Structure 1
């Protein structure tokens, strides 16, 4: 039988369980795998579009849609490339930045949903986030891919550009580390047009970025203290850590607070008022797609 994208999507959907995405399987649930509604929610697509893809009535999904589906379905790199080919697209070329989030990272996020965690690509574009991230920093789903780039946010529109409200931090350690990261990414991904355009754009619009870039700034990410000025609870001061994932380009940004502190009480208030489930139950939220 001919392999189609629709058949592959159904096969991959059927092999995932709600537990794999951080949800509890309801008693009496008939579907062995994910429902179409759950896949649509994870991929940032409409249910109707997922149905049309599986039925072969939508035959030309964009690369962004395929990437979103691959993340939602927790495909490995070979399966992701197979999905691109079935959609009539070329898989991401070597030398370009990957937006693939490994299945293990997605499962970990599903169990860390009570914590504000964001997953970023090598050019510091936000790919996925937990519900607690949206509650603390504002929901990124309405932002464009360019607006979800941390480096652009820091240098082009100020440190709070990626968040819906101000994020305060001290010194230029973050700025130097981000510039160093982009320089490394350019070495690792020399054919990535988006990365080249990002560097060129920042060099033409940000004197601070240009200065650090021309100086050959080096830096590394260290634990930092950041204060989020939230409209509901006021200032929330968090420890911010950047975690790397061996074998892939993604990095996790994690905000934590000391247990029993006033900041912990504020985070708990935001969790409850924004409907963030307790630890172990919420799924990671994918970046928005331009698909129907």
Structure 2
């Protein structure tokens, strides 16, 4: 397949995708019903220039990560996803790979939860998709690349996060993350990216290597968490991790008890975060 065919297909699917179907507001006058290049670039987390070069056939050999990002942004069906991978000269990810495909039903669920911080992770705790309230709560993830998008890597090697932990909570949190990642490796032993992640974590984090070699098996669970937000202060929220039938995706949802100061802070930081993104 040629780069021109790949670009034409992306353009055709961009033209058919309305802003509403992609989870964007449909306000304002538009010359065409489909997504603008700027909107596709924003949703996929890539530059407008790169989208332009892809559509014009001037950028060849897009990576699997770029193709998957376009699949999520365009909300493609499974058959369309496989077709786009083949047009890029890539083999569609098989059952031996940690699933990264987000079904349209999950996209619609996030649309319905537009006022709550929601993120979708794969089975290795790599962030696949986050809505604006989640970015406002935890920090904008749009610039995170490669291992920066992995929650295990960020907590053991990277800058960590905004969730406050006591020493006991931190220990239990780390043990749960490592145990959960070990269980994922057991389900996907042939995933090369997953093996590379574990190898890097063992090399760069003594704490991870210690917990990994201890051989704990289990699952990371979420509960009530306090988030130290730089603008509105501490916000205590319930964090639920939901599974998706027929997939290994994790949907993380933060909610506040109604009519409480935490609910007010959550509403405020969501507005502040949205304004920052627009500005």
- TM-score bracket, normalised by the shorter chain, equals 0.7 to 0.9
Measure the CA separation in 1 of the matches of 2:114 and 2:27.
19
**What secondary structure, in the 3-state scheme, does the structure 2 residue paired with 1:274 have?**
helix
Question: Cα deviation per residue 1:239-278 (whole Å; 9 max; x = unaligned)?
Answer: 111111111221111111111111111111112222269x
CA contact (8 A) 1:179 1:209 kept: yes
What does residue 15 of structure 2 align with? 14
Matched, 1:216 2:215: yes
Runs of 4+ aligned residues of structure 1 deviating over 6 Å after TM superposition are: none
Residue 46 of structure 1 deviates from its aligned partner by 2.4
Q: State how many pairs are aligned.
A: 273
For residue 101 of structure 1, give the secondary structure of its aligned residue in structure 2.
coil
1:202-227 Cα distance to aligned partner (Å, 9 max, x none): 33444443444344323334441111
Q: Where does 1:54-203 land on structure 2 (aligned, <5 Å)? A: 54-156=55-157, 161-163=159-161, 165-168=162-165, 170=169, 172-203=171-202
Q: Over the residues paired in the alignment, what is the CA RMSD in angstroms?
A: 2.5
Does structure 1 retain, via aligned residues, the 8 Å contact 2:176–2:219? yes
Q: Which has the higher helix share?
A: 2
Q: Which has the higher contact order (CA 8 A, sep 6+)?
A: 1
Change (3 A) 1:276 1:118: farther
Question: Structure 1 237/27 Cα, relative in aligned 2: closer, same or farther at 3 Å?
Answer: closer
Q: Which residue of 2 aligns with 1:287?
A: none
Separation in structure 1 between the aligned mates of residue 163 and residue 34 of structure 2, nearest angstrom: 41
For structure 1, the 5+ residue unaligned runs are 283-292
Q: What TM-score comes out, normalization by structure 2 length? A: 0.87
Does structure 1 residue 242 correspond to structure 2 residue 238?
no
Q: In structure 2, what is the Cα distance between the partners aligned to 1:151 and 1:258? A: 28
- TM, length-normalised to structure 1: 0.83
Which aligned pairs between 1:34-53 and structure 2 lie closer than 5 A? 34-53=35-54
